[in-house]
């Protein structure tokens, strides 16, 4: 039986997916990419999961591609691997549930790309980010990077291959918040659990619309958002949640 490089725990409608290949600094091999594709495809269909957290633990996220494997590839034999890791990336990006990256240490090259596929990124003080493909004569992924931090900054990240610390990543808008070292997951999981308590379909459609809106002109985007809002306002769950909020506000008076 092949070794599993992912650990999966589901609790309170949150799936915690942990990359576990410590002897290789969580380097991304074909086997690991296959697991990512399989796990995220399965999670997408799991009605008991509203939010996913992807992490490599408190000290590491992923050092990137397994270079020992990459070195053995030739142009005539790279198509299968290239298709595989792009399927893995897409399984994260197009997973119906919101996916949070909890980055406890270096997220470099392919590891950086994994965080890019997530919807929200939180980091510990020890996190580092770098799109190092250019240093290996490889073309980096620019989209969705430029949509996250803007084209000018995305070009800098891609063309310089520079390593950024957590605070720099936050300043450029790539990371939403930086937490103390060793306290990343205890800080991120309550956020995920709060999100997971919201309406599952509303979460999924909010993620989907955020992915498609950049392709539309402003007028079309506003019309799509108006239509989607109308499908939720006045519904039973909308009424129930309003009643709950009003009741809690009364108790605070």
Q: Which residues pair with 177 in a beta bridge?
A: 122
Choice among 23, 35, 80, 133 that is catalytic: 133
Beta sheet of 99-103, edge-to-edge order: 6-11, 14-19, 51-55, 99-103, 120-124, 177-179
pLDDT tens digits, 187-221: 999 999 999 999 999 999 999 999 999 999 999 99
Task: For the chain, give the percent of residues with pLDDT over 70.
Answer: 98
Q: How far is CA 195 from CA 200, 213, 250, in A?
A: 9, 22, 24
Per-residue pLDDT at 73? 73
Predicted confidence (pLDDT) at residue 31 exceeds the cutoff of 90: yes
Which of the pair, 53 or 234, is modelled with greater confidence?
53
Cα within 13 Å of Cα(29), Cβ side: 17
Predicted confidence (pLDDT) at residue 251 exceeds the cutoff of 90: no
**Residues 6+ positions from 185 with CB-CB distance below 8 Å:** 16, 53, 55, 58, 102, 104
Per-residue pLDDT at 80? 85
Q: How many angstroms separate the first and last alpha carbons of the chain?
A: 60
Say which range, 93-97, 175-179, 187-191, 247-251, has the weakest mean pLDDT.
247-251
Predicted confidence (pLDDT) at residue 155 exceeds the cutoff of 50: yes
- The helix (run of H) or strand (run of E) holding residue 142 is none
Residue 91 CA to chain centroid, in angstroms?
10
Phi, psi (degrees; rounded to nearest 5) at 165: -85, 175
Q: Which residues pair with 82 in a beta bridge?
A: none
Active site residue 177: no
Per-residue pLDDT at 1? 36
Dist CA 133 CA 97 (whole Å): 29
């Amino acid at each position: 039986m092949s070794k599993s490089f992912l650990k999966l725990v589901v609790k309170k409608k949150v799936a915690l997916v942990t990359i576990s290949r410590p002897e290789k600094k969580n380097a991304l091999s074909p086997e690991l990419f296959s697991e990512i594709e399989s796990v995220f495809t399965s999670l997408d269909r799991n009605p008991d999961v509203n939010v996913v957290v992807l992490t490599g633990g408190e000290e590491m996220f992923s050092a990137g591609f397994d270079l020992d494997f990459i070195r053995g590839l030739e142009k005539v034999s790279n198509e299968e691997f290239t298709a595989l890791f792009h399927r893995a990336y897409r399984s994260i990006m197009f997973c119906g549930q919101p996916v949070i990256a909890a980055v406890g240490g270096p997220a470099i090259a392919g590891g950086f790309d994994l965080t890019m596929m997530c919807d929200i990124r939180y980091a510990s003080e020890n996190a580092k980010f770098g799109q190092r493909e250019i240093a290996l004569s490889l073309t980096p992924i620019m989209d969705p990077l430029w949509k996250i931090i803007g084209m000018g900054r995305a070009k800098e990240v891609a063309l310089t291959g520079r390593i950024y610390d957590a605070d720099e990543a936050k300043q450029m808008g790539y990371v939403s918040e930086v937490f103390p070292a060793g306290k990343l997951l205890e800080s991120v999981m309550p956020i995920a659990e709060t999100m997971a308590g919201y309406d599952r379909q509303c979460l999924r459609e909010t993620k989907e619309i955020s992915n498609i809106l950049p392709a539309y002109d402003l007028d079309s985007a506003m019309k799509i958002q108006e239509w989607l809002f109308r499908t939720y306002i006045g519904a039973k769950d909308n009424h129930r949640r309003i009643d709950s909020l009003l009741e809690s506000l009364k108790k605070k008076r």
